[in-house]
């Protein structure tokens, strides 16, 4: 991995941490999920850090913890199916995978200081943030790290339309330019519909509590309010994304 895996964010005025465990989490995500998922997680990281910088309520959150929460939050979408359970919601799968990854990393840390940074409380914070990332009405009332994680992930779906009003158009463009969509709009419904087929008894769409069974899964996904809201948010953001990458014919 290069020494500078993230570009400078001169507009957003954020810095994504590059500590060894954050870089290891990014590599782990790249190994076990798709490019579109990885980029979604990185955009979510950036938006969470923007919100933490601007909102005094989140001023004390630890950037490394936020980066780990957001980079690992969709491990429940792993393309490495052996990581996933047959009977748990994808959010719980993701939280368990994130916890196992962190515990493995700290077990192999070569000094006590590295292990001490991840006490039981901090590991539980990360588990909670991943498990509740699709349930913002609960996450908002948990610890700051949990709340800002969910809010940052929402930022990737609504961008400058974020209810906080704290993500500007220019910040949004900068983040999407750094981590392009890479087909995320098309891939996300496919992932959710696959979950409906593979785990119909435990697949819900966010906090709406809508159970998506295998029968008619595509129609149920397309017609429920949560998916409508996510798609509407992404569609509304398109107007800020129709930019060509410099020296390329690729559209973000």
203 or 2: which carries more pLDDT confidence? 203
Question: In degrees rounded to 5, what are phi and psi of residue 14?
Answer: -125, 160
Question: Could you read off the pLDDT of 26-68 as tens digits, one per residue?
Answer: 999 999 999 999 999 999 999 999 999 999 999 899 999 999 9
Please tell me the predicted confidence (pLDDT) of residue 209. Answer: 39
> Three-state SS across 135-158?
CHHHHCCCCHHHHHHHHHHHHHHH
Question: Could you read off the pLDDT of 163-177 as tens digits, one per residue?
Answer: 999 999 999 999 999
Angle between the N-to-C axes of helices 63-71 and 20-32, in degrees from 0 to 180, rounded to the nearest 10: 10
Low-confidence winner among 36-40, 108-112, 136-140 (lowest mean pLDDT): 108-112
Q: How many CA atoms lie within 13 A of 41 on its CB side?
A: 29
Q: Is the pTM of this model over 0.75?
A: yes
Cα separation, 126 vs 175, in Å, equals: 23
Cα separation, 227 vs 208, in Å, equals: 10
Cα separation, 82 vs 92, in Å, equals: 15
Q: Is 159 left (phi over 0), alpha (psi -120 to 50) or beta?
A: left
Please tell me the predicted confidence (pLDDT) of residue 233. Answer: 81
Mean pLDDT for the stretch of residues 192-207: 66
What does the block give as tokens for 123? 């590991």
Cα separation, 70 vs 126, in Å, equals: 9
Please tell me the predicted confidence (pLDDT) of residue 82. Answer: 95
Question: Could you read off the pLDDT of 67-78 as tens digits, one per residue?
Answer: 999 999 999 999
């Amino acid at each position: 991995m290069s020494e500078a895996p993230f570009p400078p964010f001169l507009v957003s005025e954020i810095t994504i941490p590059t500590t060894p465990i954050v870089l290891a989490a990014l590599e782990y995500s790249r190994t076990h999920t798709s490019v579109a998922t990885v980029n979604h997680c990185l955009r979510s990281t950036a938006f969470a850090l923007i919100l933490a910088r601007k909102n005094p309520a989140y001023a004390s959150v630890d950037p490394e913890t936020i980066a780990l929460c957001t980079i690992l939050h969709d491990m429940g979408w792993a393309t490495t199916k052996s990581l996933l359970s047959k009977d748990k919601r994808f959010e719980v799968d993701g939280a368990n995978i994130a916890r196992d990854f962190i515990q493995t990393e700290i077990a192999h840390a070569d000094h006590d200081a590295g292990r001490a940074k991840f006490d039981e409380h901090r590991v539980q914070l990360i588990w909670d943030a991943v498990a509740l990332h699709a349930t913002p009405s609960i996450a908002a009332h948990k610890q700051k790290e949990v709340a800002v994680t969910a809010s940052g992930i929402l930022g990737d779906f609504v961008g400058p339309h974020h209810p906080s009003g704290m993500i500007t158009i220019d910040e949004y463009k900068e983040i999407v330019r750094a981590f392009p969509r890479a087909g995320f709009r098309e891939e996300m419904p496919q992932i959710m519909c696959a979950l409906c087929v593979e785990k119909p008894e435990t697949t819900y769409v966010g906090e709406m509590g809508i159970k998506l069974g295998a029968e008619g899964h595509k129609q149920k996904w397309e017609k429920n309010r949560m998916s409508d809201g996510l798609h509407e948010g992404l569609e509304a953001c398109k107007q800020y994304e129709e930019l060509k990458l410099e020296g390329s014919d690729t559209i973000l």
